[in-house]
Structure formats: C-alpha cells, structure tokens
Structure 1
Amino acid sequence: MIRLDNISKQNGHQILFIEASAVLLRGEKIGLVGPNGAGKTTLFRLITGGEQPDEGQVSIDRGISIGYFNQDVGEMSGRSAVAEVMNGAGPVSEVAAELRELEQAMADPDRADEMDQIIERYGEVQHRFEELDGYALEGRAREVLAGLSFSQEMMDGDVGKLSGGWKMRVALARILLMRPDVMLLDEPSNHLDIESLIWLEQFLKGYDGALLMTSHDREFMNRIVTKIIEIDGGTLTSYSGDYEFYAQQRALADKQQQAQFERQQAMLAKEISFIERFKARASHAAQVQSRVKKLEKIEKVEPPRRRQVIAFDFPPAPRCGEDVVTLAGIHKQYGSRCIYDGLDFQVRRRERWCVMGVNGAGKSTLLKLVAGSTEPDQGTVTIGASVKMGYFAQHAMDLIDGELTVFESLEEWFPQAGQGSLRALAGCFGFSGDDVEKKCRVLSGGEKARLVMAKMLYDPPNFLVLDEPTNHLDMATKEMLITALAQFEGAMLFVSHDRHFLAELSNRVLELTPEGVHAYGGGYTEYVSRTGHEAPGLLN
C-alpha cells in the first residue's frame, strides 16, 4: 500500500534519513519508535505529502485514503463537537449543517411567511441526508465521541469552548469516524483517560485498515501493534512483534554487536602491535605488508549506538511520622455538583495510593485538597508531623519564568548547588548539551513538565502528590522516572492514565465511583485482578 524506497531527508544541519526503506502493507498495525527528534513526525509528513524526500521516493497505491492525526489540531469553533467530527466525513456534514439551519428557521416565528418554502427545502435536504446515510453517520459519530468520554452535553455544545485536550479528542474522533484505508496516528494516547484509552484499543484492534502510530504508552502499543519500525541513525529497521518483543530484540542485537565490536578491537590491537613491533625489520617485511593490506580490507564493526538515558538517584528524603495526611468529613461542591459528601481518607508512611475514577469523579480535586490549593466546604485536611510535600500539577508549568533558560531556572531554584550537579539533573530529565540554554518560553509542554519534575525531585520531599506526571514524557524518560520513584521511600498519592506506571508504583488503590469511594489494599495489578476491570468506568 505504502512504500518508502531509499529515502534521504535533511532538515537544516540535521540528517534524518539516509537511503532508508520501509513498507506498510494492507491490514498491518505498526508502531513507529525512535528517540525524540529522530524524524517520526517527518516520516508521517513524507507519507501525507506535507514534505518531500531529498532523494528516493514515497509510493502510495492508487485510490488509497489516508487519515492523519497529529498534535496540531488547528482552529475549531462555531460548530458542535458532533458536527466537527462529521465534518471530516465529506459532503454529509454540509447537508447536516443546512438541516440544522432549516430546523431553527421552522421554529422562528419571525419567518412564518416563508414557512412553505422552508418546509419544502427541508424535505429536499432531509432526502439528501438520508441518501448519504447521514442519520447512521451521526449515530456513529456520537458512539465514537462517547468512547472518548464525551458527555451528551459536550457533544452538542460549541467545540470552541472545549480545552485543548478535548479538541484533540474531537480531531482524533474525526479520523476514527472516517475509517480511511490507512490511519497515521501521532501520539493518539496523549490527553486520554484510561477508559478512553481502552476503548480506543478495542476500536483499533477491530479496524481492518493499515495503521502506523507513535505512542509513549507502552501498554497501549503492546496491545495493538504486531510490527515495529524503528528510526535510528537515519535508518528504518523493521521488527515483527509488539513493543516488548522489539525491546528484547533490540537489547539482544546491541549485546551481540558490542561483543563483535570488542572481538574485532582485540584482533586489531594484536595486528597493529605486530606491525609496530616488526615494521623496522627486513626479515619480517613481507609479513608486515601482508597484515597492513589485511587491515585495509577489514570492514570495521561499529559499537552499538547508545541511547543516552541518565539514571536519576533520589537523594534520601527526610523521615516523617506514620500519619502523612488525614482527611476527615470532607464535603466539596462545585456549583450544584457534589464531588465529596463526607469523605474520610488517610495516607500513611510508605503507602503509594493511585486514585482511579472517570472524568469528573474528583481525582484532581482530591489532590488539590491534600496539597492545600483548594479548600473543603466542610471537614478537615491534616498534614502529619515533619511531612515535606512535593506537588506536581499541570498548572505548575505556567509558573515557570519564560525569560530564564533551563539552566538559569535550576540555578535560581537551587543557588547552593554546584554546576556539575545541576547539569546532571538537567540531563536526567532530557536537557543535554545546548538544551539547557533554551529559554523556558520556547519549551514544549513535555519539556516544561520535565523541568517542573526536576525541580520537585532534586530537593527531596517525603510525600509526593502527582497529577498526571507522565503526560508528554517519552518512554525513556518515563522508565527513568519509574526507576527513580521505585527507590523513593516516602508516601505517594497520584493520578495517572499510564497503566505501566500504575502497575509498577502503586501499592494501594482509591476508587472514586458514583456509588461511593472504595479502597483496595495491593497495587493496580491486584485491583484489576480483584475487580475484573482496568478502570472504574468499564463494565466487567
């Protein structure tokens, strides 16, 4: 269906592809992996025609439809979310818009004298809408939006009033409804809660077209893809299997290449030593020349390319008392919506609570109550003795001074720390080389999140309150964070939609449901085993 033949591509001084080749066949589900900046988004743009290769060619079978979802969703306003989603389905959306206008006109008393013409036109437009299977399409659009956690009210409301994250879901729904021959999905798992992620997994498993996607959620990728294409050092390498299989094969290949490299280096050292030792002796001239020629012909084995992931060592946190935080008789209401009605909850030392619940259940509200950034209407929140809290919230990223560089920010926060220590900290969180000189105002959302996390973890708290800490983090940074937090000896209270993160770090689960609050001993894996579902919004 889609073939990339010996493509080369350079952006400025950066070489992304050197005579790289790959193929996407009908029905294949492929995960695209590689370090940040390796060229994953560029590859999507080469396929869609947004960019052209410098050399080589991209061939697409005639008549193939392609749907491309990326993080740049564009402007959306003036339509309902349902209409915006249907808009991707072609002419039927225009007919649907005229139907709605005519329905409003029929209800307008000021246009009573035009009613005959309006009704006649309504009949014609309705007939055309039925011909285009419009009613079924609207039903399917609502089904997709419901799968992505939209309420009926949100579906029918102005899409322009939605937040950026919800607009992304609208853009994703548009591609899913379109059901093209090929879907290109660039980070579709960003901004989704667990319920939406699991619904999307099922949808993509049942999708019979070809799929090429990137994702920083390894669990999500493992469940969908059956092949991996890796971008590394300008080449494209295909692996049959899911992400776990790829990671194992990649590690094995690196190990074998390292052993081969070391063997060759030992052999070369031995040959060079012989040449150096006997090059001045006439009696050994023939042997020396023979070995020099042999060395010239040898194809050098390169060492495996190392992905530079620096481990972050948690400085030991000061010890606190057994009771970390206690919530008693908490009532919290927003307008007419009651979030908590008499909540009692306690976090004790070394407990790692993950908070589960559908959108609007009160997960972030609970974290805000604990962190003191919102007050209960009734009840008390008591922080224990010697507790030093580290709170990661999405809004914390807005408080970074945009005029400072990354390194200047770290220096301002930690004036006593040495330069080497701060550079190591920056490196752990993905700021290496010239990246530390970037002004904070030009950082992406993910980079800002990493900077805030670096600040929080350098001066160690003994109680971490984390609201979606893995949003925007790539797999390598996420693994580093999991490894670091696994060594953390304090208490944790966190919300995350990343099931790998939940399974690795939690030892308690707090489930918020309309029927009440349920606490489970044991971590997320035990919770899934006991309840039979991966998230509260899913039926058994």
Structure 2
Amino acid sequence: MIRLDNISKQNGKQLLYIEASASLQRGEKIGLVGPNGAGKSTLFRMITGEEPPDEGLVLVDRGVTIGFFSQDVGEMSGRSAVAEVMDGAGDVSAVAAELAGLEAALADPEQADRLDEILERFGEVQARFEELGGYALEGKAREVLAGLSFSQEMMDGDVGKLSGGWKMRVALARILLMRPDVMLLDEPSNHLDLESLIWLEQFLQGYDGALLMTSHDREFMNRIINKVIEIDGGALTSYSGDYEFYEQQRAMAEKQQQAQFERQQAMLAKEIKFIERFKARASHAAQVQSRVKKLDKIERVDPPKRRQAMSFEFQPAPRSGEDVVNLRGVHKRYGSRVIYEGLDLLIRRRERCAVLGVNGAGKSTLLKLVTGATEPDAGSVALGGSVKLAYFAQHAMELLDGEQTVLEALEAEFPRAPQASLRALAGGFGFSGDDIDKRCRVLSGGEKARLVMARMLYDPPNFLVLDEPTNHLDIATKEMLIAALAQYEGTMLFVSHDRHFLAALSNRVLELTPEGIHQYGGGYTEYVARSGHEAPGLRAA
C-alpha cells in the first residue's frame, strides 16, 4: 500500500535517512521505533506528502485513504466535540452543522415569521443528513468519544473550551471515526487515562486497515503491532513480531555483530603483527605485500551501535516513621460534586500504593490532599514522624523558569551542591554535553519531565507522591525510572496509566469507587488477577 524507496532526508546538519527503504502492506500493524530526534515524525510527514524526501520516492497506491494523527492538533473552537469529530467524515459534518442551525432557528421566537421557510429547508437538510447516514455516524462519533472518556456534556460543549490534552483526544477520535485504509498515529497513547488507553487498544486490535504508529507505552504496542520498523543511523530495519520480540531480536543481532567484530579485530591484529614484524626483511617481502593487499580488500565489520542507557541511583533516604500518612474522616467536594465522604486511609512505610479509579473518581485529589496542595473540607490529613515528601504534579513542568538553563535550574534548587555532582545528575537523566546549557523554554515535554524528576530525586525524599510521572517519557527513560524506583527504599503513592510501570512498582492498589476504597495487596498484577479488570470497569484482555 505504501513504499519508501531509497529515501534520503537531511534536517539542518542532521542526516535522518540515507537511502532507506521500507513498506507498509494491507493488514500490517507496525510500531515505528528509534531514539528521540531520529526522524519518526518526519517519516509520517513524508508519507502524507507534507514534506518531500531529498532523494528517493514515497509511493502510495492509488485510491488509498490515509488518516494522520499528530501531537500538533491545530485550532479548534466554535463547534461541539461531536461536530469536530464528524468533520473528518466529509460532507456529513457540514450538513449536521446546518441542521443544528435550523433547529436553533425553529426555537427562536424572533424568526417566527420565517417558520414555513425554515421548516421546508429543515426537511430538505434532514433528508440529506439521513441519506448520508448522519444519524448512525453521530452515534458512532459519540461511541468513540465515550471510549476516550468524554462525558455527554463535554461531547456537546464548545471544543474550544477543552484543554490541550482533551483536544488531542478529539483529533484522535476524528481519525478513528474516519476508519481510513491506513492510519498513521504519532503517540496516540499520550494524554490518555488507563481506561481510554485500553479502549483504544481494543479498537485498534479490531481495525482491519494498515497501521503505522509510535508510542512510548511498550505494553500498548505489544498488544497491537505485528511488525517493528526501527530507525537507526539513517537506515530503516524491519522486524516481524511484537515489541518484545523486536527487543530480543535486536539484542541477539547486537551480540552476533559484537562477536563478528571481535573475531575480525583479532584476525586483523594478527595480520598487522606479522606485517610489522617482517616488513623490513627482504626474504618475507612477497608475503608481507600479499597480506597488505589482503587487508586492504577486507570489508570491515563495525562494532554494534550501543544506545547510551541512562541510569540513576538514589542516595539512601532518611528513614521515616512506620505511619507515613494518615487520613481520617476526610470530606472533599467541588461545588455540588462529592469526591470523598468520611475517607479513612493509612499508608505505611515502604508501601508502594498505586491509585486506580475512573475519570473523576478523585485520584489527583487524593494526591493533593496527601501533599497539602489542597485542604479537606472536614477531617484530618497527618504526615508521620520524619517524613520528607516530594510531589510530582501534572503541572510541575509549567513551573520551570523558561530562561534558566538545565544546569541553572539544578543550581537554583541545590545552591551548595558541587557542580560536578549536578553535572553527573543531569547526565543520569539524559542531559549530556551541550544539552545541559539548553534553556528550559526550548525543552520538549519529555526533557522537562526528566529535569523535574532530577530536581526531586537528587536530595532523596522518603515519601514520593507521583501524579502520572511517565507522561512524555520515552521507553528508555521509563525503564531508567523503573530501575531506579525499584531500588528506592522509601514509600510511594502514585497514579499512572502505564501498566508496565504499575506492575513493576506497586505492592498495594487503592481502587477508588463510589462505595469507597477497595484495597488489593500484592500490587497491580494481583489486582488484575483478583478483579478480572485491567482498569476499573474494564475486563482484562
């Protein structure tokens, strides 16, 4: 359906692709992987024709429809979320907009003198709407939006009043409703809660078109894709199978290449030693000459490219008391909406509590109550003895000073720390070389999240409260964070939609329900086994 034929592409001084080739066939679901900045988004833009390759061809079969979801959703306002989603289906959305206008006109007393004219037009437009399958389409649009956690009120309200994250869901819903022959999805799992993520996973598993996507969620990719295309060093390499199989294949290929490289290096060293030893002897001149020619003809094996793995180790945190935080009889409401009524909860030392609950259940509110970011309407929240708390909030990245460099942001937080120590900290979180001099305003979402984490974890707290800490983080950074937190000896309370993160780190689950908190020991894996759900209200796949 789509073929990339010997494409080359340069972005400024960076060579993204060098005579790279790959293809996307009907029914294939492909995960596009590679380090940040390798050119994944550029590849999508070349396929859609937004950006041409410098050399080579991008060939799309005639008649193939392509739907492209990117993180840049553009302007949205003046229409309902439903109308915006239906807009992707073509003419029907214009007809729907006219129908809505006519309905409003019928109810407008100031237009009573035009009633016959409006009714006649209403009949014509309604017939056209039915002919285009408009009512069925609207039902499907609402179904997709509901799957992405929209309430009826949000579906019918002005899309312009939604936050950036919810507008991204509208843009995603538009592509899903369109059901094109080929879907290109650039990070569709960003900004989704666990329930929406699992719904999207099931939707894409049932989608019969071709799919090319990027995602920082390995569990999500694993369950959808049947092929991986890796961008590395300007080349595109294809692997059959899911993400896990790709990792195994890549590790095996790297091991084989390393062994081949070492064998060749040993052979070359032996030949060079012979040449050096006998080059001055006339009696060995022919042999030396023969070996020099042989060496010139040998195609050198390169050592495998090793991706620089980030690593961070916690300094030992001071020990807290056994009771870390105690909530007693807590009441909390926002307007008429009751979030908690008489909540009792005790979190003890070294517990790693994952908080689950449907949208609006009060997950972030619980974290805000615990950290003192919001006060209870009644009841008490008490931190235990010697508790040193650090809180990663969803808005934490907005609080960085845009004019400070990465190093200055660390120095401002720890003015007495040796610069060498702060540079080592920055390096552990992926800021090496010139990156340490980048200003915060030019950092990507993932870079900002890493910087906030670095500032939190340098002087280690013994109680970590994390609200969606893996948003914006790529797979490699998530792995680093999981490895670091697995060694952490303090207490954790966290909300996450990343199932790999949940399973690796939790030893207790707090599920927020209208009836109160349901608790599960043994962590997320135990929760799935005992409840039969991967998220509240959703069956395990």
Q: Which residue identity lines up with residue 442 of structure 1 in the other structure?
A: V
Deviations 1:424-445 (A, max 9, x none): 2112222222111111112222
Q: Which residue identity lines up with residue 537 of structure 2 in the other structure?
A: G
- The percentage of counterpart residues that share the same residue type is 81
Structure 1 match to 2:525: 525
Structure 2 match to 1:289: 289
Structure 1 match to 2:488: 488
| SS, match of residue 347 in structure 1 | strand
Is it true that 1:69 corresponds to 2:97 in the alignment? no
Does the CA-based 8 Å contact 2:310-2:477 persist in structure 1? no
Q: Counterparts in 2 of 1:7-406, with a 5 A limit?
A: 7-406=7-406
Structure 2: which 5+ runs fail to align? none
| SS, match of residue 380 in structure 2 | strand
Q: Which residue identity lines up with residue 513 of structure 1 in the other structure?
A: T
CA distance in 1, matches of 2:11, 2:421: 33
Is it true that 1:509 corresponds to 2:509 in the alignment? yes
Q: Which residue identity lines up with residue 538 of structure 1 in the other structure?
A: L
CA distance in 2, matches of 1:300, 1:423: 37
Deviation at 1:539, TM superposition (A): 5.1
Does the CA-based 8 Å contact 2:102-2:122 persist in structure 1? yes
Task: Answer with 261-270 or 122-131: which moved more.
Answer: 261-270
| SS, match of residue 534 in structure 1 | strand
Cα root mean square deviation, aligned: 0.9
Deviation at 1:277, TM superposition (A): 1.1
CA distance in 1, matches of 2:427, 2:44: 29
Does the CA-based 8 Å contact 2:184-2:212 persist in structure 1? yes
Q: Which residue identity lines up with residue 436 of structure 1 in the other structure?
A: I
CA distance in 2, matches of 1:118, 1:385: 72
| SS, match of residue 38 in structure 2 | coil
Q: Which residue identity lines up with residue 359 of structure 1 in the other structure?
A: N
CA distance in 2, matches of 1:6, 1:266: 35
How many residues are treated as equivalent by the alignment? 540
Structure 2 match to 1:433: 433
Q: Which residue identity lines up with residue 301 of structure 2 in the other structure?
A: V
CA distance in 1, matches of 2:342, 2:269: 75
Q: Which residue identity lines up with residue 277 of structure 1 in the other structure?
A: R
Q: Which residue identity lines up with residue 341 of structure 2 in the other structure?
A: D
| SS, match of residue 411 in structure 1 | helix
CA distance in 2, matches of 1:355, 1:207: 31
| SS, match of residue 394 in structure 1 | coil
- Classify 1:262/1:539 alpha carbon distance in 2 versus 1 (closer, same or farther; 3 Å): closer
Structure 2 match to 1:5: 5
CA distance in 2, matches of 1:444, 1:17: 22
CA distance in 2, matches of 1:207, 1:186: 17
Structure 2 match to 1:500: 500
Q: Which residue identity lines up with residue 118 of structure 1 in the other structure?
A: I
CA distance in 2, matches of 1:250, 1:494: 33
Deviations 1:191-213 (A, max 9, x none): 00111011101110111100000
Q: Which residue identity lines up with residue 354 of structure 2 in the other structure?
A: C
Does the CA-based 8 Å contact 2:254-2:304 persist in structure 1? yes
CA distance in 2, matches of 1:115, 1:288: 103
Structure 1: which 5+ runs fail to align? none
Q: Which residue identity lines up with residue 120 of structure 1 in the other structure?
A: E
CA distance in 1, matches of 2:51, 2:428: 33
CA distance in 2, matches of 1:5, 1:213: 19
Q: TM-score, normalised by structure 1?
A: 0.99
| SS, match of residue 269 in structure 1 | helix
Does the CA-based 8 Å contact 2:311-2:429 persist in structure 1? no
CA distance in 2, matches of 1:423, 1:282: 57
Structure 2 match to 1:476: 476
CA distance in 1, matches of 2:74, 2:87: 14
Deviations 1:85-121 (A, max 9, x none): 0011100000000000000000011111100000000
CA distance in 2, matches of 1:103, 1:30: 45
Task: Answer with 258-267 or 164-173: which moved more.
Answer: 258-267
Deviations 1:219-278 (A, max 9, x none): 000000000000000000000000000001101111111111111111111111111111
| SS, match of residue 533 in structure 2 | coil
| SS, match of residue 473 in structure 1 | coil
CA distance in 2, matches of 1:381, 1:417: 33
CA distance in 2, matches of 1:481, 1:421: 19
Q: Which residue identity lines up with residue 385 of structure 1 in the other structure?
A: G
| SS, match of residue 465 in structure 1 | strand
Deviations 1:37-66 (A, max 9, x none): 000000000000011111100000001100
CA distance in 1, matches of 2:302, 2:340: 60
Deviations 1:127-186 (A, max 9, x none): 100110000000000000000000111100111111110000000000000000000000
Deviation at 1:421, TM superposition (A): 2.2
Q: Which residue identity lines up with residue 496 of structure 2 in the other structure?
A: S
CA distance in 1, matches of 2:162, 2:390: 30
